Amino acid sequence: MSDRFEPGMRVRPRGWSEFGVVEDVIETPTGWRLYVNDSAGHPVKIEVEADGAADIEVLHSDGGAEPKLLLAGLWAEWMRSARRNGEGDRPRVDDSSAVPPPGRSGVRGDAAAAAAANCGSPDPHVVGSNSTWLAAAG
């Protein structure tokens, strides 16, 4: 544990499950007052006694991580962020539920068929706009 805190450091106080970012540090007669943004971006004031500095875990960047572990961590954080932002409830390309059942052409084909039906064309690959007919990409 470092005995000095600086803005920009990533820290995890005792009891936190994720790291936060130190936004400001004020040295006090008994230790430090840290203003830390938690993982959701909310500012939290933390009073740290000089003898309690060991209760704050500091994440030091040393560039020594294995690339596959780094990539796995980034992927996990990306998925966690997508779930928090409501993006995780849509099917993804790598999701088996996104594959259309046999005999169906999927969303693109269904959209072309619906467009053709709306414009009166019997051909699902032709989309009309007023009196102009355009061949849709198949």
pLDDT class of 45 with cuts at 50, 70, 90: very high
Instruction: Dump pLDDT digits (tens) for 78-128.
Output: 888 887 776 555 555 555 555 555 665 555 555 555 555 555 555 555 444
Q: Please report whether residue 34 resides in a domain.
A: yes
The reported pLDDT for the residue numbered 66 is 86
Mean pLDDT in residue range 49-53: 84
Interval 3-23: pLDDT, tens: 589 999 999 988 898 999 999
**Among candidate residues 28, 43, 59, the one where a domain is terminated:** 59
Q: What's the structural domain count of the chain?
A: 2
Q: In the structure, what pLDDT confidence band is assigned to residue 137 with cuts at 50, 70 and 90?
A: very low
Does the residue 127 lie in any domain? yes
**Residues 44, 19: Cα–Cα separation, whole Å:** 12
**Residue 131 domain-assigned (yes or no):** yes
Specify if 109 maps to a domain.
yes
Whether the pLDDT of residue 36 is over 60: the answer is yes
Please report the pLDDT score of residue 136 as a whole number.
Answer: 44
> Is 80 within the bounds of a domain?
no
Q: pLDDT band at 37, cuts 50/70/90? A: very high
End-of-domain residue from the set 59, 81, 97: 59
**Is 79 domain-assigned?**
no
Question: In three state form, how does the secondary structure of the chain look?
Answer: CCCCCCCCCEEEECCCCCCEEEEEEEEECCEEEEEEECCCCCEEEEEEEHHHHHHEEEECCCCCCCHHHHHHHHHHHHHHHHHHCCCCCCCCCCCHHHCCCCCCCHHHHHHHHHHHHHHCCCCCCEEEECCEEEECCC
Per-residue pLDDT, 64: 77
| Domain that includes residue 120, residue range | 105-135
Q: Is residue 99 one of the residues assigned to a domain? A: no
Confirm whether 37 is domain-assigned. yes
Beta-bridged to residue 22, according to DSSP, are 36
